[in-house]
Amino acid sequence: GDSVTQMEGPVTLSEEAFLTINCTYTATGYPSLFWYVQYPGEGLQLLLKATKADDKGSNKGFEATYRKETTSFHLEKGSVQVSDSAVYFCASYNQGGKLIFGQGTELSVKP
């Protein structure tokens, strides 16, 4: 069945550092791909999405490009802030109603 694998955390960075969180997927066909973020004490929020190959999703300085050839959707940000500290989830959506989530990557940004 479909699955999503993302790099394990926790990831600890200094403020203004470059961020990459890796995400790969397995699916039949071509799923839509998402990054969700869960800030401390809050619910899951959609960060960005891409619905077809080579699409780039972006929001709040974060970017991810849908790479069909490598079945990847890596999350990047050029300069992280303390306020970016959160748990990030990669997810895929192929058919039916279900999102398939990765296990989450905790990011901690130190001033």
Partner 1 sequence: GAGVSQTPSNKVTEKGKYVELRCDPISGHTALYWYRQSLGQGPEFLIYFQGTGAADDSGLPNDRFFAVRPEGSVSTLKIQRTERGDSAVYLCASSLTERGTQYFGPGTRLTVL
Size of the site for partner 1 (CB under 8 A): 21
Per the rule left: phi > 0, alpha: psi between -120 and 50, beta: everything else, 71 is left
Using the minimum distance from each CB to partner 1, give the nearer residue, 49 or 77. 49
Query: From CA 111, how far away is CA 100, in angstroms rounded?
Result: 33
> What does the block give as tokens for 15?
């403020």
Does 73 bind partner 1 (CB under 8 A)? Our answer is: no
Using the minimum distance from each CB to partner 1, give the nearer residue, 17 or 94. 94
Using the minimum distance from each CB to partner 1, give the nearer residue, 17 or 72. 72
Does 36 bind partner 1 (CB under 8 A)? Our answer is: yes
Does 49 bind partner 1 (CB under 8 A)? Our answer is: yes
For residue 27, the tally of other CB atoms under 10 A from its CB is: 18
Does 101 bind partner 1 (CB under 8 A)? Our answer is: yes
What are φ and ψ of residue 103, in 5° steps?
A: -80, -5
Does 99 bind partner 1 (CB under 8 A)? Our answer is: yes
- Whether the ω angle into residue 10 lies within 30 degrees of 0, i.e. cis, is yes
Applying CB under 8 A, the residues found at the interface with partner 1 are 4, 32, 36, 42-46, 49, 89, 91, 93, 96-104
